[in-house]
Structure 1
Amino acid sequence: MKSDEKIVICATVTLELGIDVGDLDLVVELGAPWKVSSLLQRLGRSGRVSKVSKMLMIILEKESLSNLPQFLMPWDLLQTISMIELYHRRRFLEDEKFLKKPYSLLAHQTLSVLKTYHQLQPNSLAAFVLTLPAFVNRFSADEYRVLLKSMLENRFLEQDDQGNLFIGLNSEREVNQWRFYAVFQSDSEWKVYHRCSSVG
Protein backbone atom coordinates (compact mmCIF):
# COMPACT_ATOMS: atom_id res chain seq x y z
CA MET A 1 0.00 0.00 0.00
CA LYS A 2 2.97 2.32 0.50
CA SER A 3 4.27 1.68 -3.02
CA ASP A 4 3.96 4.17 -5.85
CA GLU A 5 1.47 2.00 -7.70
CA LYS A 6 -2.06 3.28 -8.15
CA ILE A 7 -4.31 1.20 -5.91
CA VAL A 8 -7.70 1.44 -4.25
CA ILE A 9 -8.12 0.65 -0.56
CA CYS A 10 -11.57 -0.34 0.65
CA ALA A 11 -12.04 0.09 4.37
CA THR A 12 -14.68 0.45 7.01
CA VAL A 13 -13.97 2.66 10.01
CA THR A 14 -10.43 1.24 10.12
CA LEU A 15 -9.26 4.47 8.44
CA GLU A 16 -9.73 6.03 11.87
CA LEU A 17 -7.22 3.71 13.55
CA GLY A 18 -4.16 5.61 12.36
CA ILE A 19 -2.71 2.68 10.37
CA ASP A 20 -0.10 4.14 8.01
CA VAL A 21 -1.21 3.39 4.46
CA GLY A 22 0.91 6.08 2.86
CA ASP A 23 -0.43 9.10 1.02
CA LEU A 24 -3.99 8.90 -0.29
CA ASP A 25 -5.04 11.12 -3.17
CA LEU A 26 -8.74 10.90 -2.43
CA VAL A 27 -11.00 9.47 0.25
CA VAL A 28 -14.42 8.30 -0.94
CA GLU A 29 -17.03 8.28 1.82
CA LEU A 30 -20.13 6.18 1.24
CA GLY A 31 -23.00 7.44 3.39
CA ALA A 32 -23.01 9.87 6.28
CA PRO A 33 -20.29 9.46 8.92
CA TRP A 34 -21.27 8.99 12.57
CA LYS A 35 -19.45 12.04 13.96
CA VAL A 36 -17.77 15.25 12.85
CA SER A 37 -14.49 13.93 14.23
CA SER A 38 -14.88 10.78 12.09
CA LEU A 39 -15.42 12.91 9.00
CA LEU A 40 -12.28 14.95 9.72
CA GLN A 41 -10.20 11.90 10.61
CA ARG A 42 -11.03 10.28 7.28
CA LEU A 43 -10.57 13.49 5.29
CA GLY A 44 -7.19 13.97 6.97
CA ARG A 45 -5.91 10.67 5.60
CA SER A 46 -5.66 12.24 2.13
CA GLY A 47 -3.28 14.89 0.85
CA ARG A 48 -0.43 14.35 3.29
CA VAL A 49 2.15 14.90 0.56
CA SER A 50 0.22 17.31 -1.69
CA LYS A 51 -1.10 19.23 1.37
CA VAL A 52 -4.57 19.22 -0.24
CA SER A 53 -7.08 16.91 1.38
CA LYS A 54 -9.85 15.65 -0.89
CA MET A 55 -12.99 13.70 -0.13
CA LEU A 56 -15.78 12.55 -2.41
CA MET A 57 -18.99 11.89 -0.51
CA ILE A 58 -21.58 9.55 -1.99
CA ILE A 59 -25.04 9.65 -0.46
CA LEU A 60 -27.44 7.03 -1.76
CA GLU A 61 -31.10 7.85 -2.15
CA LYS A 62 -33.33 5.27 -0.59
CA GLU A 63 -36.66 4.30 -2.06
CA SER A 64 -39.41 5.91 -0.01
CA LEU A 65 -41.83 3.70 1.87
CA SER A 66 -44.44 6.43 1.97
CA ASN A 67 -45.33 9.90 0.70
CA LEU A 68 -45.19 11.32 4.23
CA PRO A 69 -42.57 14.11 4.54
CA GLN A 70 -40.45 12.25 7.11
CA PHE A 71 -40.03 9.36 4.66
CA LEU A 72 -39.20 11.63 1.71
CA MET A 73 -36.50 13.53 3.63
CA PRO A 74 -32.94 12.62 2.51
CA TRP A 75 -31.70 12.10 6.10
CA ASP A 76 -28.19 10.88 5.21
CA LEU A 77 -27.65 13.91 2.98
CA LEU A 78 -28.92 16.30 5.68
CA GLN A 79 -26.71 14.63 8.28
CA THR A 80 -23.66 14.97 6.04
CA ILE A 81 -24.36 18.64 5.25
CA SER A 82 -24.93 19.33 8.95
CA MET A 83 -21.57 17.83 9.89
CA ILE A 84 -19.72 19.83 7.25
CA GLU A 85 -21.48 23.02 8.38
CA LEU A 86 -20.81 22.31 12.06
CA TYR A 87 -17.10 22.08 11.46
CA HIS A 88 -16.75 24.67 8.71
CA ARG A 89 -18.74 27.44 10.42
CA ARG A 90 -18.32 26.65 14.13
CA ARG A 91 -15.20 24.44 14.30
CA PHE A 92 -17.36 22.03 16.28
CA LEU A 93 -15.89 18.69 17.38
CA GLU A 94 -17.42 16.17 19.75
CA ASP A 95 -15.83 15.83 23.16
CA GLU A 96 -13.82 12.65 23.45
CA LYS A 97 -14.74 10.63 26.51
CA PHE A 98 -12.07 8.32 27.84
CA LEU A 99 -13.19 5.86 30.45
CA LYS A 100 -10.72 5.49 33.27
CA LYS A 101 -11.91 1.94 33.84
CA PRO A 102 -13.34 0.51 30.58
CA TYR A 103 -15.05 -2.53 32.12
CA SER A 104 -17.10 -3.23 29.00
CA LEU A 105 -13.91 -3.50 26.94
CA LEU A 106 -12.32 -5.68 29.63
CA ALA A 107 -15.31 -8.05 29.52
CA HIS A 108 -15.25 -8.01 25.70
CA GLN A 109 -11.56 -8.92 25.58
CA THR A 110 -12.07 -11.62 28.22
CA LEU A 111 -14.69 -13.27 26.01
CA SER A 112 -12.51 -12.77 22.93
CA VAL A 113 -9.54 -14.52 24.57
CA LEU A 114 -11.76 -17.39 25.74
CA LYS A 115 -13.22 -17.68 22.23
CA THR A 116 -9.67 -18.13 20.96
CA TYR A 117 -8.38 -20.54 23.63
CA HIS A 118 -11.73 -22.22 24.40
CA GLN A 119 -10.94 -22.51 28.12
CA LEU A 120 -8.35 -21.15 30.54
CA GLN A 121 -7.62 -21.21 34.23
CA PRO A 122 -8.54 -17.86 35.87
CA ASN A 123 -4.89 -16.99 36.65
CA SER A 124 -3.81 -17.73 33.04
CA LEU A 125 -6.72 -15.68 31.70
CA ALA A 126 -5.84 -12.77 34.00
CA ALA A 127 -2.16 -12.96 33.04
CA PHE A 128 -3.14 -12.74 29.37
CA VAL A 129 -5.90 -10.10 29.53
CA LEU A 130 -4.45 -7.75 32.14
CA THR A 131 -1.20 -7.43 30.17
CA LEU A 132 -2.98 -6.13 27.07
CA PRO A 133 -1.93 -2.46 26.53
CA ALA A 134 -5.43 -1.06 27.18
CA PHE A 135 -5.50 -2.57 30.68
CA VAL A 136 -1.93 -2.28 31.99
CA ASN A 137 -1.93 -0.19 35.21
CA ARG A 138 -5.69 0.33 34.92
CA PHE A 139 -7.10 -2.78 36.57
CA SER A 140 -5.84 -4.68 39.57
CA ALA A 141 -6.07 -8.46 39.90
CA ASP A 142 -8.79 -7.93 42.54
CA GLU A 143 -10.88 -5.76 40.19
CA TYR A 144 -10.55 -8.39 37.48
CA ARG A 145 -11.57 -11.10 39.94
CA VAL A 146 -14.75 -9.13 40.77
CA LEU A 147 -15.53 -8.82 37.03
CA LEU A 148 -15.01 -12.56 36.46
CA LYS A 149 -17.24 -13.37 39.44
CA SER A 150 -19.98 -11.12 38.04
CA MET A 151 -19.65 -12.69 34.57
CA LEU A 152 -19.97 -16.14 36.16
CA GLU A 153 -23.02 -15.14 38.20
CA ASN A 154 -24.71 -13.76 35.08
CA ARG A 155 -23.75 -16.82 33.01
CA PHE A 156 -21.55 -14.89 30.59
CA LEU A 157 -18.85 -17.32 31.73
CA GLU A 158 -19.03 -20.90 32.98
CA GLN A 159 -16.52 -22.87 35.05
CA ASP A 160 -15.88 -26.62 34.93
CA ASP A 161 -14.85 -28.97 37.75
CA GLN A 162 -11.14 -28.32 37.09
CA GLY A 163 -11.69 -24.56 37.48
CA ASN A 164 -11.34 -23.74 33.77
CA LEU A 165 -13.35 -20.75 32.56
CA PHE A 166 -15.16 -20.90 29.23
CA ILE A 167 -17.83 -18.93 27.38
CA GLY A 168 -21.22 -19.14 29.07
CA LEU A 169 -24.74 -19.54 27.73
CA ASN A 170 -25.53 -15.80 27.83
CA SER A 171 -22.56 -14.84 25.67
CA GLU A 172 -22.34 -17.80 23.31
CA ARG A 173 -24.62 -16.27 20.67
CA GLU A 174 -22.80 -12.90 20.84
CA VAL A 175 -19.28 -14.25 20.36
CA ASN A 176 -20.34 -16.40 17.40
CA GLN A 177 -21.29 -13.51 15.13
CA TRP A 178 -19.05 -11.10 13.27
CA ARG A 179 -20.44 -8.02 15.05
CA PHE A 180 -18.75 -9.20 18.25
CA TYR A 181 -15.37 -8.27 16.79
CA ALA A 182 -16.51 -4.89 15.44
CA VAL A 183 -16.04 -2.64 18.44
CA PHE A 184 -17.22 0.27 16.34
CA GLN A 185 -20.72 1.61 15.97
CA SER A 186 -22.54 0.13 13.00
CA ASP A 187 -25.91 0.60 11.36
CA SER A 188 -28.89 -0.81 13.20
CA GLU A 189 -31.27 -2.65 10.94
CA TRP A 190 -34.80 -3.62 11.95
CA LYS A 191 -37.37 -5.87 10.38
CA VAL A 192 -40.98 -4.91 10.91
CA TYR A 193 -43.66 -7.60 10.95
CA HIS A 194 -47.43 -7.47 11.09
CA ARG A 195 -48.50 -10.85 12.40
CA CYS A 196 -46.46 -13.23 10.23
CA SER A 197 -45.88 -10.90 7.26
CA SER A 198 -42.81 -8.74 6.80
CA VAL A 199 -43.88 -5.14 6.14
CA GLY A 200 -40.47 -3.47 6.02
Structure 2
Amino acid sequence: MSADYYTSMIKPMLEGAQMTILLFLIAIVVSIPLGFVLTLAVKSSSKPIAWLAHTYIYVMRGTPLLLQLLVICFGLPMLPVVGEYLVLDRFTAACVGFVLNYAAYFAEIFRGGLISIDKGQYEASQVLGFNKWQTTTRIILPQMFRVVLPSVANESITLIKDTALLYAVAVPELLHFAQTAVNRDFTIMPFFIAAIIYLIMTLLLTLLFKWLERKFKFE
Protein backbone atom coordinates (compact mmCIF):
# COMPACT_ATOMS: atom_id res chain seq x y z
CA MET A 1 0.00 0.00 0.00
CA SER A 2 1.32 3.43 -0.95
CA ALA A 3 1.93 6.40 1.29
CA ASP A 4 -0.88 8.23 -0.52
CA TYR A 5 -3.29 5.48 0.51
CA TYR A 6 -2.34 5.75 4.16
CA THR A 7 -2.62 9.53 4.00
CA SER A 8 -6.10 9.34 2.48
CA MET A 9 -7.14 6.77 5.09
CA ILE A 10 -5.68 8.50 8.15
CA LYS A 11 -6.98 12.00 7.34
CA PRO A 12 -10.71 11.24 7.93
CA MET A 13 -9.79 9.15 10.98
CA LEU A 14 -8.00 12.14 12.49
CA GLU A 15 -11.08 14.24 11.77
CA GLY A 16 -13.11 11.61 13.60
CA ALA A 17 -10.65 11.78 16.48
CA GLN A 18 -11.44 15.49 16.78
CA MET A 19 -15.08 14.55 17.38
CA THR A 20 -13.91 12.02 19.97
CA ILE A 21 -11.82 14.62 21.78
CA LEU A 22 -14.63 17.19 21.64
CA LEU A 23 -17.09 14.78 23.24
CA PHE A 24 -14.50 13.85 25.88
CA LEU A 25 -13.87 17.48 26.79
CA ILE A 26 -17.56 18.33 27.02
CA ALA A 27 -18.30 15.26 29.12
CA ILE A 28 -15.40 15.90 31.53
CA VAL A 29 -16.04 19.62 31.95
CA VAL A 30 -19.76 19.14 32.67
CA SER A 31 -19.94 15.75 34.40
CA ILE A 32 -17.30 16.44 37.08
CA PRO A 33 -19.08 19.45 38.64
CA LEU A 34 -22.46 17.74 38.13
CA GLY A 35 -21.08 14.68 39.90
CA PHE A 36 -20.00 16.83 42.84
CA VAL A 37 -23.48 18.36 43.03
CA LEU A 38 -24.90 14.83 43.11
CA THR A 39 -22.52 13.96 45.94
CA LEU A 40 -23.81 16.91 47.94
CA ALA A 41 -27.37 15.84 47.16
CA VAL A 42 -26.66 12.32 48.43
CA LYS A 43 -25.36 13.79 51.68
CA SER A 44 -28.27 16.22 51.96
CA SER A 45 -30.25 16.32 55.19
CA SER A 46 -33.40 16.34 53.03
CA LYS A 47 -34.43 12.70 52.65
CA PRO A 48 -36.35 13.20 49.36
CA ILE A 49 -33.34 14.90 47.74
CA ALA A 50 -30.94 12.25 49.04
CA TRP A 51 -33.26 9.47 47.87
CA LEU A 52 -33.60 10.99 44.39
CA ALA A 53 -29.83 11.36 44.09
CA HIS A 54 -29.25 7.77 45.26
CA THR A 55 -31.86 6.49 42.80
CA TYR A 56 -30.38 8.47 39.92
CA ILE A 57 -26.88 7.17 40.62
CA TYR A 58 -28.13 3.61 40.96
CA VAL A 59 -30.02 3.74 37.64
CA MET A 60 -27.21 5.38 35.67
CA ARG A 61 -24.53 3.06 37.04
CA GLY A 62 -26.75 -0.01 36.84
CA THR A 63 -27.70 0.23 33.17
CA PRO A 64 -25.38 0.15 30.12
CA LEU A 65 -24.22 3.47 28.70
CA LEU A 66 -25.10 2.20 25.22
CA LEU A 67 -28.70 1.62 26.30
CA GLN A 68 -28.86 5.13 27.75
CA LEU A 69 -27.54 6.60 24.49
CA LEU A 70 -30.13 4.68 22.47
CA VAL A 71 -32.94 5.86 24.74
CA ILE A 72 -31.86 9.50 24.51
CA CYS A 73 -31.27 9.39 20.75
CA PHE A 74 -34.20 7.26 19.64
CA GLY A 75 -36.45 6.60 22.63
CA LEU A 76 -37.23 10.05 24.00
CA PRO A 77 -38.60 11.38 20.66
CA MET A 78 -41.12 8.50 20.72
CA LEU A 79 -42.69 9.64 24.00
CA PRO A 80 -46.29 10.81 23.61
CA VAL A 81 -47.00 14.55 23.81
CA VAL A 82 -43.48 15.68 24.81
CA GLY A 83 -41.49 13.54 22.37
CA GLU A 84 -41.40 16.16 19.63
CA TYR A 85 -39.66 18.55 22.02
CA LEU A 86 -36.98 16.01 22.92
CA VAL A 87 -35.56 15.50 19.45
CA LEU A 88 -31.82 16.23 19.56
CA ASP A 89 -29.14 15.94 16.93
CA ARG A 90 -27.03 12.82 17.43
CA PHE A 91 -23.93 14.53 18.81
CA THR A 92 -25.90 16.63 21.31
CA ALA A 93 -27.83 13.56 22.43
CA ALA A 94 -24.57 11.66 22.87
CA CYS A 95 -23.12 14.50 24.95
CA VAL A 96 -26.18 14.46 27.18
CA GLY A 97 -25.93 10.70 27.60
CA PHE A 98 -22.23 10.74 28.47
CA VAL A 99 -22.61 13.65 30.90
CA LEU A 100 -25.54 12.05 32.74
CA ASN A 101 -23.81 8.68 32.92
CA TYR A 102 -20.37 9.82 34.01
CA ALA A 103 -21.76 12.32 36.52
CA ALA A 104 -23.11 9.32 38.44
CA TYR A 105 -19.70 7.63 38.46
CA PHE A 106 -17.89 10.80 39.50
CA ALA A 107 -20.48 11.30 42.24
CA GLU A 108 -19.55 7.95 43.76
CA ILE A 109 -15.85 8.78 43.46
CA PHE A 110 -16.34 12.10 45.25
CA ARG A 111 -18.52 10.49 47.90
CA GLY A 112 -15.74 8.02 48.62
CA GLY A 113 -13.28 10.90 48.82
CA LEU A 114 -15.41 12.76 51.33
CA ILE A 115 -15.88 9.64 53.44
CA SER A 116 -12.11 9.22 53.61
CA ILE A 117 -11.63 12.62 55.27
CA ASP A 118 -11.13 12.18 58.99
CA LYS A 119 -13.89 13.73 61.12
CA GLY A 120 -11.18 15.38 63.18
CA GLN A 121 -10.63 17.75 60.24
CA TYR A 122 -14.12 19.16 60.71
CA GLU A 123 -13.64 19.50 64.45
CA ALA A 124 -10.28 21.23 63.99
CA SER A 125 -11.90 23.67 61.58
CA GLN A 126 -14.52 24.59 64.15
CA VAL A 127 -11.82 25.15 66.77
CA LEU A 128 -10.02 27.48 64.35
CA GLY A 129 -13.25 29.43 63.87
CA PHE A 130 -13.86 28.49 60.24
CA ASN A 131 -17.45 28.61 59.03
CA LYS A 132 -18.95 25.78 56.98
CA TRP A 133 -18.01 27.37 53.64
CA GLN A 134 -14.41 27.99 54.68
CA THR A 135 -14.11 24.47 56.06
CA THR A 136 -15.38 22.99 52.82
CA THR A 137 -13.35 25.09 50.39
CA ARG A 138 -10.08 25.44 52.30
CA ILE A 139 -9.75 22.13 54.12
CA ILE A 140 -12.12 19.41 52.93
CA LEU A 141 -12.13 19.90 49.14
CA PRO A 142 -8.32 20.13 48.71
CA GLN A 143 -7.89 16.89 50.67
CA MET A 144 -10.72 15.21 48.81
CA PHE A 145 -9.19 16.23 45.48
CA ARG A 146 -5.89 14.58 46.39
CA VAL A 147 -7.68 11.39 47.41
CA VAL A 148 -9.92 11.09 44.35
CA LEU A 149 -7.45 12.22 41.67
CA PRO A 150 -6.22 8.67 40.80
CA SER A 151 -9.82 7.44 40.51
CA VAL A 152 -10.80 10.46 38.41
CA ALA A 153 -7.82 9.73 36.15
CA ASN A 154 -8.90 6.12 35.70
CA GLU A 155 -12.50 7.12 34.96
CA SER A 156 -11.34 9.75 32.47
CA ILE A 157 -9.30 7.17 30.56
CA THR A 158 -12.36 4.91 30.49
CA LEU A 159 -14.39 7.82 29.16
CA ILE A 160 -12.09 8.46 26.21
CA LYS A 161 -12.38 4.77 25.25
CA ASP A 162 -16.16 4.79 25.72
CA THR A 163 -16.46 7.52 23.11
CA ALA A 164 -16.29 4.66 20.60
CA LEU A 165 -19.95 4.09 21.48
CA LEU A 166 -20.74 7.11 19.30
CA TYR A 167 -20.43 4.66 16.44
CA ALA A 168 -23.63 2.95 17.61
CA VAL A 169 -25.68 6.15 17.29
CA ALA A 170 -24.25 7.11 13.89
CA VAL A 171 -22.00 9.96 15.03
CA PRO A 172 -18.99 10.09 12.69
CA GLU A 173 -16.11 9.64 15.13
CA LEU A 174 -12.80 7.78 14.93
CA LEU A 175 -14.18 4.22 14.93
CA HIS A 176 -16.80 5.13 12.32
CA PHE A 177 -14.14 6.16 9.80
CA ALA A 178 -12.00 3.13 10.67
CA GLN A 179 -14.93 0.80 10.01
CA THR A 180 -15.72 2.63 6.77
CA ALA A 181 -12.16 2.14 5.55
CA VAL A 182 -12.22 -1.56 6.51
CA ASN A 183 -15.45 -2.16 4.59
CA ARG A 184 -14.23 -0.20 1.58
CA ASP A 185 -10.71 -1.58 1.27
CA PHE A 186 -11.10 -5.08 2.76
CA THR A 187 -8.13 -4.61 5.09
CA ILE A 188 -7.87 -4.68 8.86
CA MET A 189 -5.14 -2.02 8.92
CA PRO A 190 -7.54 0.87 9.73
CA PHE A 191 -8.44 -0.87 13.01
CA PHE A 192 -4.76 -0.98 13.98
CA ILE A 193 -4.37 2.70 13.12
CA ALA A 194 -7.47 3.54 15.17
CA ALA A 195 -6.00 1.57 18.09
CA ILE A 196 -2.77 3.57 17.84
CA ILE A 197 -4.70 6.86 17.88
CA TYR A 198 -6.66 5.76 20.95
CA LEU A 199 -3.41 4.70 22.64
CA ILE A 200 -1.85 8.10 21.90
CA MET A 201 -4.87 9.90 23.39
CA THR A 202 -4.88 7.75 26.50
CA LEU A 203 -1.11 8.15 26.84
CA LEU A 204 -1.39 11.93 26.76
CA LEU A 205 -4.20 11.80 29.30
CA THR A 206 -2.19 9.47 31.53
CA LEU A 207 0.82 11.80 31.39
CA LEU A 208 -1.41 14.75 32.30
CA PHE A 209 -2.75 13.02 35.38
CA LYS A 210 0.72 11.78 36.35
CA TRP A 211 1.84 15.40 36.26
CA LEU A 212 -1.10 16.41 38.43
CA GLU A 213 -0.30 13.64 40.89
CA ARG A 214 3.31 14.81 41.15
CA LYS A 215 2.16 18.39 41.52
CA PHE A 216 0.00 17.40 44.47
CA LYS A 217 2.78 15.25 45.90
CA PHE A 218 1.41 11.79 45.22
CA GLU A 219 4.88 10.63 44.23
The TM-score, its normalising length taken from structure 2, stands at: 0.17
Higher-RCO chain (CA-CA 8 Å, sequence separation at least 6): 2
More helix by share: 2
More strand by share: 1
Higher alpha-carbon Rg: 1
The TM-score, its normalising length taken from structure 1, stands at: 0.18
